[in-house]
Each structure stands twice: as structure tokens, then as C-alpha cells.
Amino acid sequence: MSHEDGLELARARYGLFAVVLSNLAIATVAIVGVWRLDGDKAVIVGVLTAAFTAVSSMTTAYLGIKAVSNTAKSIALSEARGRERTEQQASTPAQRTS
């Protein structure tokens, strides 16, 4: 495993940890808020809707950013391999003629 792979793994782990921790904090605040509202249904619905929106937005943003990052890395690696092949093919005929 290269240093770059280790760095990417650490970013993924800590990013996921941050998202999970944030989602747990939002859920905790929502649960405590609902518990303290003593049955006011209109406000409870608002609190739960806001909490669900925050959790889903944060999770979707993380997964979207991670997917784009993985795609960009894949494209960069693919282009690098393509350049290597092109350079190898270009140098092969020159070696045969000498």
C-alpha cells in the first residue's frame, strides 16, 4: 500500500466518522427536542422533518463527494496508464531500427 493509498483510506475513514458523528448529534438533538416538547404534534413534526432533512443532506453530500473523488481518481489513473502505453509504443519502433 502506497502512502497515497493510506492517505485516501484515512480521508475516507475520518470523513465517514464525521458524517456518522454529525448524524448521531442531529438525531440526539431531535430526540431530546421531541421529548421536551410534551406532545405538541405540529412542532414535533417540524423538528423531525428538519432532523431528517439535515441527516439525509449530510449523508448525500458525503457520498456524492466521495463518488466524484473516486471517479476523478479513476480517470486520472486511466489517463496515466494510457500515456504510459503510448510512450511504450512510441519507443518500441525506435528501438527496433537501431
Q: What is the pTM of this model?
A: 0.70
pLDDT exceeds cutoff 60 at 97: no
pLDDT exceeds cutoff 70 at 70: yes
- DSSP assignment of 3-27: HHHHHHHHHHHHHHHHHHHHHHHHH
Domain ranges of the chain: 3-97
pLDDT band at 1 (very low <50, low <70, confident <90, very high): low
Mean pLDDT on 31-54: 89
pLDDT exceeds cutoff 80 at 98: no
Helix pair angle (3-36, 41-97), 10° resolution: 170
* Measured distance CA(30)–CA(59) in Å, rounded: 17
* Measured distance CA(89)–CA(87) in Å, rounded: 5
